[in-house]
Amino acid sequence: MLSAPVRRILAAVTLPAILALSSCTAGPGQAIHVRQVAAGQPSPATPSPTPSTSPSPTAKPAPGSLAWYVSQVPTFPEAPPPQPVQLPATGPAPIWHRLPTDQKVAFITIDDGGLARPPAVPDFIWQAHIPVTMFLNSPAAEEHDVYFRQIEVAGGVVENHTIRHTSLPGRSYDHQKQEICGAADKLEALFGKRPTLFRPPFGEHDTTTLQAAHDCGAKAVFHWSETVHEGKVRYQTPEKVVHPGDVLLMHFRPALMDDLLAALKAIHRAGLTPALLEDYVR
Ligand SMILES: [Zn+2]
């Protein structure tokens, strides 16, 4: 996570201002753009703060407002410099429930995209510097590309979750490749970057899935370690704690603001820092 001075710099720049500044609308430059601002580059000459994002120092934000959500985000320890994991040199893509790392980080992933897209989420992700990976179905990404591009500008990364979100195991290689490569092609055309990670619908896969994912450009396939729904974290292990490398799954659903906040608090309780999956799988 970023230091306090950087946080203040970023807080002064609203997401719409960044979007207006950004001449290109897609591509790997987006993440770099955010880093350039974070590194202390000149902020926009005329940032356009809105009341909801720039409360007076003494005002308490109204519960449920964007400012309130931002105020509830814990302060995290500095994330360690990422050490990318070892990937197999050949063969199908590996499947992981959690990233094989001992580094004190955990990862937030958001799936699907067709059901609901709470409007405050892009600004929340931007203002609170929440690293997110979005596993999108390509038709939803195409229909709502402006929304997902806003999250991309805020630092999020788009990855692959097939076209039709149907169960893959037992289907032919050609069928699975069409679902995975077809989505990858569309997402690459929309966002200017070919997905490098894949999550199968419902987490269901067979060996054909892993081979097809590899052949469509995926370096790794991800299941998950915890799920988050309606502001509650559900653990898959009895000790109910987030472990280093854990991958938290949530969805583009109406309670996504609460889900993001619950995930951040759970990661903080575990003494970990949220990090970007793509920094560890290269
Ligand atoms: Zn899904």
63-96 tens-digit pLDDT: 999 999 999 999 999 989 999 999 998 889 999 9
Using the predicted structure, report yes or no on whether residue 119 has a pLDDT greater than 60: yes
Distance 250 CA to ligand 1 centre (A): 9
**Cα 75 to middle of ligand 1, angstroms:** 30
Closest CA to 147 of 124, 118, 127: 118
Q: What pLDDT, on a 0 to 100 scale, did the predictor assign at position 178?
A: 98
What's the per-residue H, E or C state across 51-106?
CCCCCCCCCCCCCCCHHHHHHHCCCCCCCCCCCCCCCCCCCCCCEECECCCCCCEE
What is the CA(96)–ligand 1 centre distance, in A?
16
In the chain, what percentage of residues exceed pLDDT 70? 79
pLDDT for the residue 54: 52
Q: Is the pLDDT of residue 247 over 60?
A: yes
Average pLDDT of the residues of the chain: 85
Q: 251, 257 in Cβ contact below 8 A?
A: no
**Distance between Cα 140 and ligand 1 center (Å):** 12
Q: Rounded to the nearest whole angstrom, what is the distance from the C-alpha of residue 51 to the centroid of ligand 1?
A: 35
CB 26, CB 190: distance < 8 Å: yes
**Ligand 1: distance of its center to the CA of 265 in Å?**
24
191 vs 145: CA distance, rounded Å: 8
CA of 103 to the centre of ligand 1 (A): 27
Cα-to-centroid distance, 45 and ligand 1 (Å): 41
Q: Which two tokens stand for residue 238?
A: 């009895």
Q: How far is the CA of 231 from the centre of ligand 1 (A)?
A: 18
